[in-house]
């Protein structure tokens, strides 16, 4: 999630926008004449390790039948 701010508004409210971004952890897209020119995102603490649990959440595109074979036996080119 991110919010969009024009360059002139960003210039006028830079410090307030940075404080707000730190509080809500939401990136800011800075535009100039309606076109995105920069993204300001919250800094991550390099000493803080992220949990691997949930790291792949939302990445499964299709989930038909997890117990069915990945390929048909005749598709394998194995020596019998």
27: domain range? 1-43
Domain tally, the chain: 1
In a domain, 52, yes or no: no
For residue 28, give the nearest of 40, 19, 36 by alpha carbon.
40
Per-residue pLDDT at 80: 58
In a domain, 13, yes or no: yes
DSSP string, 7-73: HHHHHHHHHHHHHHHHHHT-EEEEEETTEEEEEE-PPP-TTSPPPSTTTTTT-----S-TTS-SS-G
- Beta-carbon count within 10 A of 36 CB: 11
pTM of the model: 0.54
Q: What CATH number corresponds to the domain at position 5? A: 3.40.1620.10
Q: What is the pLDDT of residues 22-75, one digit of tens each?
A: 888 889 999 999 999 999 988 877 777 777 887 777 777 777 777 877 777 777
């Amino acid at each position: 999630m991110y919010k969009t701010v024009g360059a002139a508004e960003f210039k006028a409210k830079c410090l307030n926008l940075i404080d707000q971004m730190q509080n809500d952890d939401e990136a800011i897209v800075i535009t100039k004449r309606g076109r995105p020119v920069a993204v300001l995102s919250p800094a991550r603490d390099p000493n803080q390790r992220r949990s691997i649990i949930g790291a792949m959440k939302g990445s499964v595109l299709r989930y038909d039948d997890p117990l069915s074979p990945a390929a048909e036996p005749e598709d394998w080119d194995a020596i019998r």
